[in-house]
Amino acid sequence: MDYDVIYIGSGNAAWQGGRFLRKAGLKILIVEESLYGGACANRGCNSKALLDAPYEIKALTENFEGVGKSGNFDVNWSDLMELKRQRIAGMSIFLDGKFDEYDLDVAHGKGVIIDEHTVQVGQRKFTTDKIVICTGLKPVIPDIKGKEYLHDSTDFLDISELPKHTIIIGAGFVGMEFASILAEAGLEADVIIRGNMALKYFHQPYVQKIIEILKEKNIRFHFNQSVKEIIKDDNVIIDNPESKVLNVTSAMNSDEFLRDPESKVDNKAYENAFTVNCESGLSLTGDYVIAAMGRTANVEDIGLENVGLTYTNKGIKVNGHLQTEVPNIYASGDVADTGIAKLVTVAIHHSKYLAKELLGEADEITYPVVPAVAYTIPRIATVGVPAYIAEKSDEYEVHTIKYGRSYSLELKNDRTAEAKVIVDRDLNIVGAEIYAAEAENVANMFAFIINKKITLEELDYMIYAFPSSSSVCLYKLHNIHYKF
């Protein structure tokens, strides 16, 4: 055999564990057809975090409107995008260097499984004892008329200029996070949702708070709608739903704003416009359309049929050892159908587990509680037993901790920060829902508490750095402990 293990894909689901296997003496090959590091490093998490940060800061400055704020905090998207491109451009190069440091072999090209022990990359064939599929997910693009006009998250995260009026199809992580950026940028968007809720895996009262904030900032929501087609129109005046059409003929490349005298909302002239028609008859027009309808398994044309492997939109089915139906072939990260949230943190967990599994040092995989965060503005997060389950069960109590109201001075004048803490009958914390500017940090704190089974009494004994978002939330937990 040429290798002990071949990873198809170079993201966190691969190299995080591959380096440990190499250190243990196994010979490893990583196959990548695009940029080293995969989607998170080059087209997702890192780009989103960099582009989102200034808008998060902008929103925080609004807490001091009339009480200290002077002037406006404006974000220059073009400059920000240039920074993002510079920073992200180095990620693949950096990881290539790390692979060399870890003594991991790499082959650039599409990896195709020829048989249970052979992977072909271009004209070269490599033999291996084990194969690990780490190809992740790809955006869902609906098969509708005009689908060629749709953009995905990768496109938006590399756009040189923000669109004036965006139509977002979908209200999951991508749709709602992009809507927050557009809202803080002072731009318009329409969000089309197939069902009756956005961010369906999060605490809906908190999701509704986000929706209300977005509505106030020119983001409109259309529930229970199914998109039928997208039509491209050249040189038209886009009519805001709250205004009257002045003219839908040529705008002659004008960037001027045209206003109906009876309307308080501007009609905008764009060189190119796209009309999204829904089955219900709803029709929306904007200058950019994003497909944010989720992601599906990225496994086309990698040779699964050559070894009899099947898959669904959720990925390749695996057992408790991340093993597929073919004993020597495994799946790791988002492409594995495990029933666990598809997050980069879970992909890292898979990869490290699989290293131990392939070395014969692991039982079935187990998972700690997994915090999930929607990076809207403000953030919302969930970890452990969700409130919607706890509220329907006699096994739990749900306590609302409005720590922003008590500690707004310590939270940068944010009075809205709140958490719902779920405890069991013995008052052990088993879950939390958080709505706050720093929800991600508070969620990590609760993940630690739940995983380590730290009691309320132990939490009350500890001394914390003050002021901080975690300390003020923790301090309020004594209300549960002492039954105040």
Per the domain annotation, does 41 fall within a domain? Answer: yes
Are 275 and 233 spatial neighbours (Cβ–Cβ below 8 Å)?
yes
Q: For residues 171 and 191, give the distance between their C-alpha atoms in angstroms, rounded to a whole number.
A: 7
User: 398 and 350: one domain?
Assistant: no
User: 271 and 163: one domain?
Assistant: yes
User: 157 and 243: one domain?
Assistant: yes
Q: Which of 105, 141, 131 is nearest to 306 (CA)?
A: 131
Q: Using pLDDT thresholds of 50, 70 and 90, give the confidence band for residue 284.
A: very high
**Which among 358, 386, 401 is the end of a domain?**
358
pLDDT of residue 385: 98
Which residues span the domain enclosing 273? 147-291
Query: Which three-class secondary structure state does DSSP give residue 167?
Result: strand
CA–CA distances in Å: residue 322 to residues 176, 235, 330, 383: 31, 53, 6, 23
User: 423 and 303: one domain?
Assistant: no
pTM: 0.91
User: 89 and 202: one domain?
Assistant: no
DSSP state of 430: E
User: 301 and 382: one domain?
Assistant: no
**Which among 273, 291, 309 is the end of a domain?**
291
Per the domain annotation, does 365 fall within a domain? Answer: no
User: 403 and 446: one domain?
Assistant: yes
Residue range 357-380, pLDDT digits in tens: 999 999 999 999 999 999 999 999
For the stretch 150-170, what's the b/e string if a residue is b when 16 or more beta carbons lie within 10 angstroms of its beta carbon?
bbbbeebbeeeebbbbbbbbb
Residue 393 exposure: Cα atoms within 13 Å on the Cβ side:
14
| Burial environment of residue 134 by CB neighbours within 10 A (0 to 12, 13 to 18, 19 or more) | buried
**Which among 263, 291, 319 is the end of a domain?**
291
User: 187 and 244: one domain?
Assistant: yes
Residue range 423-436, pLDDT digits in tens: 999 999 999 999 99
User: 166 and 259: one domain?
Assistant: yes
Per the domain annotation, does 23 fall within a domain? Answer: yes
CB within 8 A of 207, min separation 6: which ones?
Answer: 197, 198, 199, 380
CA dihedral 189, 288, 268, 58 (to 10 degrees): 50
Can you give the CATH number for the domain in which 135 is found?
A: 3.50.50.60
User: 153 and 284: one domain?
Assistant: yes
Are 23 and 1 spatial neighbours (Cβ–Cβ below 8 Å)?
no
For tokens 């009075």, the residue is: 415
Residue range 385-417, pLDDT digits in tens: 999 999 999 999 999 999 999 999 899 999 999
Q: Residue 378: is the preceding peptide bond cis (ω within 30°)?
A: yes
pLDDT of residue 128: 98
Q: Using pLDDT thresholds of 50, 70 and 90, give the confidence band for residue 214.
A: very high
Per the domain annotation, does 371 fall within a domain? Answer: no
User: 260 and 155: one domain?
Assistant: yes
Q: Which of 398, 56, 408 is nearest to 203 (CA)?
A: 398
Per the domain annotation, does 369 fall within a domain? Answer: no
The total number of structural domains that make up the chain: 3
Per the domain annotation, does 373 fall within a domain? Answer: no
Per the domain annotation, does 10 fall within a domain? Answer: yes
pLDDT of residue 479: 80
Residue 256, token pair as written in the block: 């001027």
Q: Which of 281, 295, 289 is nearest to 190 (CA)?
A: 289
Can you give the CATH number for the domain in which 387 is found?
A: 3.30.390.30
For residue 271, pLDDT over 90 is answered with no
Residue range 311-354, pLDDT digits in tens: 999 999 999 999 999 999 999 999 999 999 999 999 999 999 99
Q: For residues 394 and 396, give the distance between their C-alpha atoms in angstroms, rounded to a whole number.
A: 6
User: 347 and 281: one domain?
Assistant: no
